[in-house]
Amino acid sequence: MAAPSLELESRAAIVTGAGQGVGRGIAVALAAAGARVLLCGRTAAKLEAVRDEIVSTGGTAATVAGDVATAADVQRCIEAAVAAFGTVDILVNNAIAQPLGQLLEVDDQAFEYGFDSGPLATLRFMRGCYPYLLGGGSVVNIGSGVALQPSLTGFGCYAAVKSAIGSLSRAAACEWGPVGIRVNTLLPLALTPAMAGFLEVHPEATDGILGQVPLGRFGDAELDVGTAAVFLCSPAAAYITGATLSVDGGQDYVR
């Protein structure tokens, strides 16, 4: 019997937060594997740059600018994917606003926006795509290993919203497995623009972070994280659901 394929030919995907970083890396990797990708995010120019990058290498992509924290924009993204590609086979929930800071510093508005753009947007996208995902669809939700850190100082609110996404993923895997929808979570560590900006302000943090990574480097958003997402969405992962996959060089569980 032939080995299951990693090809995603003709599959239709939505990737949120696709204008840069992990979202861009996953979108480019999915397109390289043959998927048609709808790129969602807040900044049209960034989405268009990723779309042009994909098209220049022979892939297929379209864009919708909007805020995933807004229910109407979530619905508009889903409708655009169906209009462009006829269905949705793959959903990658990556977008989130990060409510960073100590508990006495993060105000209600920032925390609520983190929740609205993270777990609430994830739930809205999963519910909206459910009819199209039936019978073989795949959802990949992007979590964070930050909740596994020994200290959550400055990251409590961010860890809270990311942990909620993990709970939604596990529930969806249990409830939707019988109808053929697989749902998994990725915990990435990648040198994204956001990470690069953090390290520019806190250069002393580089050694501390990499000191916790057995492989000794930051991941690449496309080659490392994107490839893992392709695997989870492909026939090769047909018997994997409800899993949490750390793509972080060993950081999360080897301390």
Q: Check pLDDT > 60 for residue 255.
A: no
Report the pLDDT value the prediction gives residue 2, as an integer from 0 to 100: 66
Report the pLDDT value the prediction gives residue 88, as an integer from 0 to 100: 98
**142 closest CA partner among 99, 100, 109, 190:** 190
Q: Which two tokens stand for residue 2?
A: 């032939």
For residue range 130-149, what is the model confidence (pLDDT) as tens digits? 999 999 999 999 999 988 88
Q: Check pLDDT > 70 for residue 162.
A: yes
Report the pLDDT value the prediction gives residue 202, as an integer from 0 to 100: 80
- At residue 189 the predicted structure's pLDDT band, cuts being 50, 70 and 90, is very high
Q: Check pLDDT > 80 for residue 254.
A: no
For residue range 53-71, what is the model confidence (pLDDT) as tens digits? 999 999 999 999 999 999 9
Buried b (16+ CB within 10 A) or exposed e, 235-249: eebeeebeeebbbbb
Sign of the torsion angle spanned by Cα atoms 186, 89, 46, 158 = negative
| Cβ atoms of residues 118 and 143 within 8 Å | no
**Going edge to edge, which strands form the sheet with 90-93?**
60-65, 36-41, 12-16, 90-93, 138-142, 182-188, 244-247
Q: CA Rg, the chain, in Å?
A: 17
Quote the DSSP letter at residue 111. H
Query: Which residues participate in catalysis according to the annotation?
Result: 158
For residue range 233-248, what is the model confidence (pLDDT) as tens digits? 999 999 999 999 999 9
Q: Which two tokens stand for residue 92?
A: 């990658």
- At residue 122 the predicted structure's pLDDT band, cuts being 50, 70 and 90, is very high
Q: Check pLDDT > 60 for residue 203.
A: yes
| CB proximity list for 103: less than 8 A, separation 6 or greater | 156, 157
H helical segments located in 71-219: 71-85, 108-115, 121-133, 156-176, 193-201, 205-210
Where along the chain do its domains lie? 12-247
Q: What is the CATH number of domain 12-247?
A: 3.40.50.720
